Amino acid sequence: MGEDGDATMSEMDLRGTTALVTGGGRRLGAAIADALAEAGCDLVVHYGTSGEGAEQVVQRARRRGRRATSVRADLTNRGELVQLMDRTREFSGGKLAVLVNNAGNFERVVPAEMDDESWDRAMLLNATVPYRLSVGLADELRAAHGCMIAVACVSALRPWRNYVAYSVSKAALVHLVRGLATAFAPDVRVNAVAPGSVLVPEGYREDQLDRLRRRIPLGRFGDALDVARAVCFLAANDYITGQVLAIDGGQSIG
């Protein structure tokens, strides 16, 4: 409520702003990019290997009347990461309203088989790269009074036994979000979404899916659009920062 008792709404108008979505050429990243374009954002769609998917996202955005471009980069390569940031600055005119750190490593490694390489891969792509991008584009985010939204995971709160490196790296990402929310305030908001059973990995047997479904209070799996809508909500609401929004059908409470 406002000081005079009237209801007020704190919302950012995304129309005509620019969003960068990493890993935006497929699956969850593509759904997020599509939703941001629908909300009015021009798009920089980053991809690593999904060039065809990224171009399809670009074409869908253009059909909505948005400006859009795709940029290929190996995010683990410092030079290519810098080039992505340079291309984003050029495209956005120095103002970036939404940075979605979506690209990530999702690798099943039994703890007894853990090696330095698998650990380092998870930490680099899931925590270090979002840190580098967020800090590297901080001036552009401040210029737009924008936001960074990270795609974390409910495993950051309840780690998965055969995804220890992944779970730890996503927990680090959550703490990065909370730390940067303080460091970047009041000009930039920093939040995360934490998907649960959304886009279940291929290869699960039906009995495995049934067991997993029974652990979800809402009794069903989510889909990419559920997460994309949450990203748009956090992008538009300019009185939320330092928060992690679980998109998991209630699984994390049980």
Cα gap 234→21, rounded to integer Å: 14
Cα gap 92→89, rounded to integer Å: 5
Cα gap 97→26, rounded to integer Å: 22
SS3 107: coil
- Is 166 an active-site residue? yes
Torsion over CA: 151, 30, 160, 218 (sign): positive
Name the nearest CA neighbour of 117 among 165, 49, 156, 169.
165
Residue of 47, 131, 163, 166 marked active site: 166
State the angle between helix axes of 51-63 and 27-39 in degrees (0 to 180), rounded to the nearest 10. 20
Q: Which residues are catalytic?
A: 166
